[in-house]
Each structure stands twice: as C-alpha cells, then as structure tokens.
Amino acid sequence: MPLVRIQLECNRTTARQVMDLHRADKIHHGSREEARAEVWRRGWTPAGEPVFVGVTNGQPVRLLYDVEVYSDTTS
C-alpha cells in the first residue's frame, strides 16, 4: 500500500513534546489525529495509524507523519 507523507506545522514547544513522547514510546494523540484528518482532506482513505517519523529543522517547524493509505486502483 502506498504511503503519504504529512507535514503538520507547529511551534518548537509542541515539536519538542512530540519528540519526547516518541522517544518514550508514547503517542501525541492530537498531532496523530491531525495527520489522519489531513489524509482524509487530501482525498485518501487511511489504511493504518499515522506513524511519526520526525521533525523538520527549519522555520516553520513541521511534524512529519507517514500514513499508509488504500490505493484507488480497481481490478
């Protein structure tokens, strides 16, 4: 199944909180739900949970999530 990369703009404090939770094998539920909602807005159907993959190092700071989606192909 294809993956969609989602970038969520946030502030440095939130990015730090998400990274700390990720390192503790926990989930930042708010940003994960926001990533799922963005996949739906883009017209894809999520096939699994969004997976946190990192934070950008620029301005603005962005959280990166990969979301597995169902393919639109039919047989």
Please tell me the total count of domains within the chain. Answer: 1
Q: Is residue 33 part of a domain?
A: yes
pLDDT at 74: 43
Amino acid at position 55, single letter: V
pLDDT in tens, 16-43: 999 999 999 999 999 999 999 999 999 9
In 31-67, which positions are buried (b, 16+ CB within 10 angstroms) versus exposed (e)? bbebbbebbeeeebebeeebebeebeeeeebbbbbbb
Return the sign of the alpha-carbon dihedral for residues 62, 28, 43, 1: positive
pLDDT at 58: 86
Q: Is residue 10 part of a domain?
A: yes
Which range of residues forms the domain containing residue 30? Answer: 3-68
Tell me the pTM: 0.90
Selection from 53, 50, 26, 27 nearest residue 37 by Cα:
50
